[in-house]
Amino acid sequence: MSVDTVLLKAENIYKTFGATKAVTDFSMEIRAGEVRGLIGENGSGKSTFSSVVAGVYNKDSGTLYVNGEEYIPHSTVEASAHGIALVVQEAGVIAGISGACNIFLNKEKRFEDKFGINYRKMNQAASEALKNVYAEHIDPSVQTTMLNLEDRKLVEIAKAMCDNPRLLIIDETSNALTTRGREILYKVIEDVKGYGGSVMFITHDLDELIQVCDSVTVMRDGRFVATLPKEKMVVKDLRELMVGREISDNYYRSDFEKDYEDEVVLKAEGLVAPEIKDVTFALHKGEILGIGGLSDCGMHDLGKALFGIEKLDSGTVSLADGTQITNPKVAVEKRMGYMSKNRDTEAIILQFPIDDNICLPSLARLVNKGIIKSKDERELAKTWAGKLSIKLRSIHSYCATLSGGNKQKVVLAKWLGNESKIIIMDCPTRGIDIGVKEAIYNLMQELKKKGVSIIMISEELAELIGMSDRIMVMKDYSVSKILDRSPQLDEKTIIEYMI
Ligand SMILES: Nc1ncnc2c1ncn2[C@@H]1O[C@H](COP(=O)(O)OP(=O)(O)OP(=O)(O)O)[C@@H](O)[C@H]1O
């Protein structure tokens, strides 16, 4: 197929959800062999459009063409039959069944013999599919619930790639991956290009976008804004096209003097768990303590342990008043908050309304004479949804109807609404657009000024350097170094202690 062939053409696509106009009069074309970025603010319609192309949603109107022929997918199975595969933003695998069963979902017939499905053959083929996406370390017979977030994503990528799709759609996946996972994803994209296929790549990371994509289409409020070739992909211009206003280049802190109190609010002493080795540190009032390292260095488990979710083999997490955090109930009572990296499964309840999610940690505070007035609940939820500019149709809508970035804002609203004094944020700006990122960093500084202490676990070195008072670098499940905020602190220094 020539690179001039238009593989996908979308003409005047409309998609609404009730009163929400998710995609409006949107048109674009992707050529064979092209890697096209698709960017836009949270809620601008990227996932909805890609889901229409991948057969998840029916469009309201407009026309899709694949290789010049009209294409009307009614399901992902039909889309897959047309060579279109989607890797979704969050949980894309089915829990409770093996990686192999996920990879060959709806394709089980391929392994049928006179005795039924031959799972040995299916596992063999799944091993091959995983190998093709550089993920041979995953055992395809293992249930996906046993795998970590990255490996679940790799199973999903293997599923999408198993029949060499003509168009691979990757919706905001890199932020669930480690550096190694991202390298794998980029190799897969190169492979698709190599056989003449195309990729639609959705990301909020503009540096990654420029590195990976040949061209980019910008969406705003469900509409087409522009398509730019690689040579015109400049971060500043892209930000402005997305947001429709100028965004400052430097949204991190500019102060470097010690700017937190001596008072210790949380002490972790000799923490030991399967993936934590003898971790000891103190968190101070008004401090942003960054925790960085390679994704499997133990920092995500540490976040859980500090909130009492992960059981410790030994060691203690204690607060200034002597309370030991042994479970999340005590943590919430003591005004601690925890934002999990696994948003859809651990941080919010998708099938609950937005207001219920926001109010969940605050219920004890909302009780008045044994009852919770729905007016109080609504007010609390509305206040925080407003402060964080959550893009929603109604405060009673289910969280499942929100775009990824807006779900992340609900998680934050939940802990701010409870007036948390200590917040553990695991990858707080994951899936967040550039405008909201700026707002979250400003909010962190405001919280700090009010004496709130923040533990920010992050895989983004720029974010750690830009926002932390101190950075605790972890390696092989233990603390390798604690670095003070300084204008001289650079990524290279942190990396030296990480690897
Ligand atoms: N299933 C649904 N039901 C109702 N509204 C929905 C549904 N899915 C998406 N929306 C709404 O459609 C709009 C576009 O959402 P979409 O998920 O496409 O945005 P996005 O650009 O992918 O955002 P993000 O970068 O945050 O992932 C949002 O207002 C969202 O709340």
Give 296-332 pLDDT, tens digit per residue.
899 999 999 999 999 999 999 999 999 999 999 999 9
The answer to the question of residue 304 being in a domain is: yes
Q: Give yes or no: residues 207 and 283 share one domain.
A: no
The answer to the question of residue 386 being in a domain is: yes
Whether residue 1 is predicted with pLDDT greater than 60 in this model: the reply is no
Nearest-CA neighbor of 269 among 53, 19, 25, 479? 479
* Ligand 1 atom at minimum distance from 51 CA: 18
Distance 368 CA to ligand 1 centre (A): 36
Whether residue 175 is predicted with pLDDT greater than 90 in this model: the reply is no
Whether residue 3 is predicted with pLDDT greater than 60 in this model: the reply is no
User: 402 CB less than 6 Å from ligand 1?
Assistant: yes
Last residue of a domain, one of 209, 243, 277: 243
Q: Give yes or no: residues 290 and 186 share one domain.
A: no
Please choose from 39, 42, 48 the residue to mutate so as to test ligand 1's pocket, defined by most ligand atoms within 8 A of CB.
Answer: 48
| DSSP assignments along 244-282, one per residue | SS---S--S----S--S-S-EEEEEEEEEETTEEEEEEE
User: 435 CB less than 6 Å from ligand 1?
Assistant: no
Distance 391 CA to ligand 1 centre (A): 9
Distance 43 CA to ligand 1 centre (A): 5
Burial class of residue 87, CB neighbours in 10 A (0-12, 13-18, 19+) = buried
Whether residue 65 is predicted with pLDDT greater than 80 in this model: the reply is yes
Q: Give yes or no: residues 41 and 161 share one domain.
A: yes
User: 203 CB less than 6 Å from ligand 1?
Assistant: no
Distance 44 CA to ligand 1 centre (A): 7
Q: Give yes or no: residues 95 and 230 share one domain.
A: yes
The answer to the question of residue 132 being in a domain is: yes
Task: Taking residues 454-464, report their average pLDDT.
Answer: 93
User: 175 CB less than 6 Å from ligand 1?
Assistant: no
Per-residue confidence (pLDDT) for residue 436, from 0 to 100:
79
Per-residue confidence (pLDDT) for residue 172, from 0 to 100:
86
Q: Give yes or no: residues 239 and 326 share one domain.
A: no
Looking up tokens 């962190």, which residue turns up?
444
User: 22 CB less than 6 Å from ligand 1?
Assistant: yes
Distance 208 CA to ligand 1 centre (A): 22
Q: Give yes or no: residues 284 and 171 share one domain.
A: no
User: 47 CB less than 6 Å from ligand 1?
Assistant: yes
Give 82-101 pLDDT, tens digit per residue.
999 999 877 778 888 999 99
Q: Give yes or no: residues 298 and 210 share one domain.
A: no
Mean pLDDT of the chain: 92
Q: Give yes or no: residues 52 and 154 share one domain.
A: yes
Task: Taking residues 226-247, report their average pLDDT.
Answer: 87
For residue 282, give its domain range: 264-498
The answer to the question of residue 1 being in a domain is: no
The answer to the question of residue 250 being in a domain is: no
Per-residue confidence (pLDDT) for residue 246, from 0 to 100:
67
Report whether 198 contacts 192 (CB < 8 A): yes
User: 343 CB less than 6 Å from ligand 1?
Assistant: no
Per-residue confidence (pLDDT) for residue 437, from 0 to 100:
83
Q: In one letter, which amino acid is 49? A: F
User: 434 CB less than 6 Å from ligand 1?
Assistant: no
The answer to the question of residue 281 being in a domain is: yes
Q: Give yes or no: residues 124 and 273 share one domain.
A: no
The answer to the question of residue 251 being in a domain is: no
Tell the residue nearest (CA) to atom 13 of ligand 1: 22
The number of distinct structural domains making up the chain is 2
Distance 207 CA to ligand 1 centre (A): 24
Whether residue 499 is predicted with pLDDT greater than 70 in this model: the reply is yes
The answer to the question of residue 249 being in a domain is: no
Report whether 53 contacts 136 (CB < 8 A): no
Q: Give yes or no: residues 192 and 269 share one domain.
A: no
Q: Give yes or no: residues 227 and 329 share one domain.
A: no
Tell the residue nearest (CA) to atom 25 of ligand 1: 42
Lowest mean pLDDT among 26-30, 36-40, 145-149, 444-448: 145-149
* Ligand 1 atom at minimum distance from 49 CA: 18
User: 470 CB less than 6 Å from ligand 1?
Assistant: no
Per-residue confidence (pLDDT) for residue 201, from 0 to 100:
97
User: 44 CB less than 6 Å from ligand 1?
Assistant: yes
Per-residue confidence (pLDDT) for residue 55, from 0 to 100:
95
Report whether 270 contacts 469 (CB < 8 A): no
User: 181 CB less than 6 Å from ligand 1?
Assistant: no
User: 17 CB less than 6 Å from ligand 1?
Assistant: yes
Quote the distance between the C-alpha of residue 16 and its chain's center: 24
Last residue of a domain, one of 190, 208, 243: 243
- The percentage of the chain sitting over the pLDDT mark of 90, rounded to a whole number, equals 72
Q: Give yes or no: residues 483 and 393 share one domain.
A: yes
Last residue of a domain, one of 243, 276, 295: 243
| DSSP H helices in 424-480 | 434-449, 461-467
Interface confidence, given as ipTM, is 0.98
Nearest-CA neighbor of 399 among 417, 415, 386, 385? 385
What distance in Å separates the CA atoms of residue 278 and residue 480, rounded to the nearest whole number?
A: 11
User: 43 CB less than 6 Å from ligand 1?
Assistant: yes
User: 79 CB less than 6 Å from ligand 1?
Assistant: no
Query: Which CATH number goes with the domain that contains 138?
Result: 3.40.50.300
* Ligand 1 atom at minimum distance from 219 CA: 21
